[in-house]
Amino acid sequence: MVLMLSRSDIKGLITMEETIEALGKAFAEFSRGDAAMPVRSVIMAPEHDGWFGIMPAYLPGSGAMGLKSVTVYKRNPAKGMPVIMGLNLMLDPETGEPIAVMDAGYLTAVRTAAASGLATRLLAREDARELALLGAGVQGRQHLLAIAAVRPIQEARVFDVSRENAERLRQEMQPASRAPIRVVSTAEEAVRGADVVVTTSTSATPILEHSWLKSGAHINGIGSHSPGLRELPTEVVVNARVVVDSREAALKEAGDLQIPIEEGRATPEQFSDEIGELVEGTKPGRTSPDQITLYKSVGIAVQDMAVAALVYRRAVEKGVGTRLDLLS
Give the model confidence (pLDDT) of 200-254 as tens digits. Answer: 987 889 999 999 999 999 999 998 877 888 999 999 999 999 999 999 999 999 9
* Max CA pair span of the chain: 62
Query: Residues 37-95: pLDDT tens digits?
Result: 998 899 999 999 999 999 999 999 989 999 999 998 989 989 999 888 999 999 999 99
Q: What is the CATH number of domain 2-108+302-324?
A: 3.30.1780.10
Instruction: Please tell me what DSSP assigns to residue 102.
Output: E
Catalytic pick from 68, 74, 283, 296?
68
- All residues at 6 or more sequence positions from 211 whose CB lies less than 8 Å from its CB, including other chains: none
List strand residue ranges (DSSP E) for the chain, in order: 2-5, 41-45, 50-59, 64-73, 84-91, 98-103, 130-134, 155-159, 181-183, 196-199, 218-221, 241-244, 293-296, 322-324
Provide the pLDDT for residue 229. 87
Could you confirm whether 68 is annotated as catalytic?
yes
Q: Is 103 exposed, middle or buried (0-12, 13-18, 19+ CB in 10 A)?
A: buried
Distance in angstroms (rounded) separating the CA atoms of residues 153 and 148: 6
What pLDDT does 64 receive? 96
- Superfamily of domain 125-298 in CATH is NAD(P)-binding Rossmann-like Domain (3.40.50.720)
- What is d(CA 294, CA 99) in angstroms, rounded to the nearest whole number? 37
Query: For residue 101, what are the β-bridge partners?
Result: 4, 89
Q: Residue 4 is inside which H or E element, if any? A: strand 2-5
Counting Cα atoms < 13 Å in the Cβ hemisphere of 57 gives 30
Domain boundaries, given as residue ranges, for the chain: 2-108+302-324, 125-298
66 three-state secondary structure: strand
Q: What are phi and psi of 269, to 5 degrees?
A: -60, -30
Summarize the confidence of residues 168-196 as an average pLDDT: 97
301-318 vs 105-123: helix axis angle to the nearest 10? 110
- Examine the pLDDT at 293 and tell me if it is beyond 90: yes
SS3 state at 161: coil
